[in-house]
Structure 1
Amino acid sequence: MLSTDFVPGAPNWLDLGVPDTDAAVSFYSATFGWQFQSAGPDGGGYGFFLQDDKTVAGLGPLTEEGASAAWTLYFHTPDADATAKAVEQAGGTVRMAPDDVFSFGRMGQFTDPAGADFAVWQPGDIKGVGLVNTPNSLTWAELYTTDAAGAKDFYRAVFSWQTTDMEMGPDMTYTVLTPAGGTEENSHGGLMQLPQENLDRGSRPEWHPYFEVADCDAVFARATEAGGTTLIPPADAEGIGRLAMLLDPAGAPFAIIKSAGSEQS
């Protein structure tokens, strides 16, 4: 389970890069009820999605040439420069070398060996998002990859994550990810091999967020009415919850889940 304690290796920030930030504000406000707050004239168009007056994510215009709309997961690091070196030593790529973001913190952006983008956040004045695990906030981070075994090795080398394999069927293994020294209760994400049929439909290695919701079907309906595209319609996963996966109107994938055992809100 995620926590705002933000131990090293755990997700502590996420943001959305899109070609049209106004359209994204409209979609996610309709879907989750989020409010948007600009970072101001020095923010380069960046701003923050808020839920109950607490930051749940960032939003900004795409800045890399040829980049597609996507959510980026950031993982806590006490030393972004050391993490950048670890990424390179493990076979990954540094897309953006670590740099200070005013006094807020230090960030770096990377790509793993299979091609999935991710980032790190070394906290300064901002430790991370202000809300997790409650309705309309981040609750899980998931990686689809073309090399599950390689991904486990890579992220263990970079973040010292613990990995636990779960057999989901005769041809599917799901790997649960936990920060170093944590237990199952501290798990923050998972990874799985992309099935061939997904690759045939154009899927590629990528991280995507899961947002906790109070009612999966209702949020799914609002998202599709606002222009989202269905990837996986609402379905029950025994012992996990009711979940769905979508593309937002700009093409960024995300998932929603009403976790098993969570209370309606």
Structure 2
Amino acid sequence: MVERTTPWPVGAPSWADVLVSDMERSKAFYTAVFGWEYTGGEADFGGYVTATKDGRAVVGLAPPMEGAEDQESAWTVYLAVEDSAATEQAITEAGGVVYYPTMEVGPFGRMGIYGDPTGAAFGTWEPASHAGFGVTNEPGSMAWNEAMVGDFAAGKTFYTEVFGWTYADMSGEGMEYAIFTTPGDESGMTGGIGHDPDQEPAWTVVLEVDGTDEAVQRIKVAGGSVLVEPFDFEHGRLALVAGPDNEPFGVITSAAPPEEN
């Protein structure tokens, strides 16, 4: 478990939210699956709510912006920054795209939404009163974030130029993949970057659960769907699923770390 009340290191995944078409339906779904409770929802912030577990911020749920009600539901991962304007300039200089320029979010911080040069969309978060994830790597909270990019080399170059990422290559047959870390990050909140020719460029999220098969059953009952049935691999038991708006995400029961001799 990683519990945090201070800002995440620059370049680290620090927040995530999901765009939903029916807030009450999605709140009920995610509560049934993860046991979340919610705060927020004020009109001043577009009805945005923060999901919490044991009083700690987990993720956000966002209704569509006015005039964009037909926007496809999806998760957005936000990378921590110290200076939103400077980061936005660095993004454009490195070949990225500005979808929503940096903006104030009340007393909470500043955000922007961008696309990397390969087509994967992401956000940035400059914290003020809202530091980001209040807890990760325990059931009901974020376990992993990854960018599936359209070009592996170009994607890695972009995120290094803008966020200072370094990589440990994990590529295998038919897929390029690396674990990224950020400068000076001792939080354990690393993530992955990869390229699969069969996948569209996108950032994705994986949430920790206490029992992947049981979580998948809850997802089915609550109105979600299963994209890839649970399977075991070296890091745990993973399933790929979708919420009530067909927004894809993963659930994992992580393998216990090896015991030190």
TM-score by length of 2: 0.91
For 1:110 and 1:152, locate their aligned partners in 2 and report how far apart those are by CA, in whole Å.
16
Instruction: Give CA deviations for 1:230-262 in whole Å, capped at 9, x if unaligned.
Output: 121111112x11111111120211111111107
SS in 2 for 1:167: coil
Tell me whether 1:211 sits opposite 2:215 in the alignment.
Answer: no
For 1:195 and 1:54, locate their aligned partners in 2 and report how far apart those are by CA, in whole Å.
37
| Match 2:143 to one of 139, 146, 155 | 139
Of stretches 32-41 and 148-157 in structure 1, the one that deviates more from structure 2 is 32-41
Of stretches 40-49 and 52-61 in structure 1, the one that deviates more from structure 2 is 40-49
Matching residue's letter, 1:130: G
For 1:130 and 1:38, locate their aligned partners in 2 and report how far apart those are by CA, in whole Å.
16
Please give the residue correspondences for 1:1-265 in structure 2 after superposition, counting only pairs within 5 Å: 4=4, 6-63=8-65, 65=68, 66-168=70-172, 170-182=173-185, 186=188, 188-196=190-198, 198=199, 204-238=200-234, 240-261=235-256
Query: 5+ residue gaps in structure 1?
Result: 199-203
SS in 1 for 2:171: strand
- The structural deviation recorded for 1:179 is 0.7
User: Contact 1:94 / 1:109 at 8 angstroms: preserved in 2?
Assistant: yes
**CA 162–186 in structure 1, closer or farther in 2 if over 3 Å, else same:** farther
RMSD, aligned α-carbons: 1.8
Matching residue's letter, 1:70: A
User: Contact 2:212 / 2:230 at 8 angstroms: preserved in 1?
Assistant: yes
**CA 109–54 in structure 1, closer or farther in 2 if over 3 Å, else same:** same
TM-score by length of 1: 0.90
SS in 2 for 1:24: helix
For 2:165 and 2:197, locate their aligned partners in 1 and report how far apart those are by CA, in whole Å.
24
- The structural deviation recorded for 1:21 is 1.2
User: Contact 1:166 / 1:175 at 8 angstroms: preserved in 2?
Assistant: yes
SS in 1 for 2:10: coil
- The structural deviation recorded for 1:37 is 2.0
Instruction: Give CA deviations for 1:207-237 in whole Å, capped at 9, x if unaligned.
Output: 1111111111111110122122212111111
Instruction: Give identity over the alignment, percent.
Output: 38
SS in 2 for 1:177: strand
For 1:189 and 1:243, locate their aligned partners in 2 and report how far apart those are by CA, in whole Å.
16
- The structural deviation recorded for 1:182 is 4.4
For 1:230 and 1:2, locate their aligned partners in 2 and report how far apart those are by CA, in whole Å.
28
- Runs ≥4 residues deviating over 6 A: none
For 2:162 and 2:196, locate their aligned partners in 1 and report how far apart those are by CA, in whole Å.
22
For 1:2 and 1:53, locate their aligned partners in 2 and report how far apart those are by CA, in whole Å.
15
SS in 2 for 1:127: coil
Matching residue's letter, 2:61: L
For 1:58 and 1:232, locate their aligned partners in 2 and report how far apart those are by CA, in whole Å.
24
For 1:31 and 1:92, locate their aligned partners in 2 and report how far apart those are by CA, in whole Å.
35
